[in-house]
Amino acid sequence: MNARRRFLQLSASTAALGALPALSAFSLRANAATGAPRTLRIGNQKGYLTLLKGRGTLEKRLAPLGVGVTWTEFEAGPVQLEALNVGSIDFGDVGEAPPIFAQAAGAPLAYVAATVPRPQSEAVLVPRSSAIHGVADLKGKTVALNRGSNVHYFLVKLLRAHNLNYADVNLVFLAPADARAAFERGSIDAWVIWDPFLAAAQKTLDARILADATGVVGNRAYYFSSLKYAAQNPDVIKILIDELSQIDQWGQRNRPELAAQLARLWGLPPEVANVAIERVQFGTGPITKAILAEQQQIADTFFDLKLIPKRVSVLEAAAPGLA
């Protein structure tokens, strides 16, 4: 993303957010009066949104409102957010870290919902026979992770919790596929990764979990829109989040079937998906100031590490109705 793009100014954002309820009401009245069709352009990764697409229930609920739905699949959150930034999509799903970079690039991001924390779904892996048995043993070792990702933040906090500094490990920045290959070759000592890559390494590489994120970081997933779309279409966003919550509730009651469906989407063996889903915590709800405060900690950490060029105010990405 182009990090030189201008940041949203706090004063301007505050004024804009203050005007959002009135804008929303005006837009809804205008749509009702004119019958103007609306479109919801969803950017989905292979996950809950893809399952929602397959059900077709969202389209049925939005049809009486005159809202059409289009779907575009993306490989990762950062690409989705770039699409949001250039106005190509209205909604998507993402992890904790990519929105920070999107805001730093000036994207008109709005957080609209979040999952409960899922700390067991990311971890530090070592080979089964490794002499590394505690986090303190990582000092001086070569550790691979995806730069600027959720696990980057997790490792920083994990090291601090064990009285280690960020510079105490030799970091190698690798995408998941490259990191897996390096792990399998034995050219790195540890790998910090998330599911389903985490589960796949456990099942197929006999990797051992050194530490997961429990008690260290939350590891939430987020649903996002743009500030403008969220303000003008609160009825659409509400229905969309409700549909995702229903899938979440169904998944909690039907873990084996959820794992089977995701295994097919991910192109992974069922036993790998089962491991990933067994440790998932279920629950999707509204964004709160407390949740955005968690995001602010990530933003501040990334700024301190010089991963983003300027400080980010996460509250600028608060959608209308923040609790």
Q: How far from the centroid of its chain's Cα atoms is residue 265's Cα?
A: 18
pLDDT at 29: 43
C-alpha distance from residue 94 to each of 23, 91, 164, 267 (Å): 27, 10, 29, 20
pLDDT at 315: 93
Q: What is the mean pLDDT of residues 84-99?
A: 92
At 116-156, the pLDDT tens digits run 999 999 999 999 999 999 999 999 999 999 888 889 999 99
Q: Does pLDDT of 6 surpass 50?
A: no
Return d(Cα 117, Cα 150) in angstroms, integer: 12
pLDDT at 69: 96
Of the candidates 230, 237, 231, 222, the one whose C-alpha atom is nearest the C-alpha of residue 62 is 237
Residue ranges and CATH numbers for the domains of the chain are: 10-116+220-264+283-317 (3.40.190.10), 119-212 (3.40.190.10)
pTM of the full structure: 0.81
At 255-299, the pLDDT tens digits run 999 999 999 989 999 999 999 999 999 999 999 999 999 999 999
Residue 322: both structure tokens together: 């923040």
Pairing of strands 190-194, 122-127: antiparallel
Mark residue 322 as left, alpha or beta (left: phi above 0; alpha: psi -120 to 50; beta: remaining): beta
DSSP 126: E
pLDDT at 127: 97
At 166-194, the pLDDT tens digits run 999 999 999 999 999 999 999 999 999 99
Return d(Cα 233, Cα 319) in angstroms, integer: 11
Based on C-alpha coordinates, what's the Rg of the chain? 20
Q: Does pLDDT of 13 surpass 80?
A: no
Of the candidates 121, 283, 132, the one whose C-alpha atom is nearest the C-alpha of residue 214 is 121
Return d(Cα 307, Cα 147) in angstroms, integer: 9
pLDDT at 5: 37
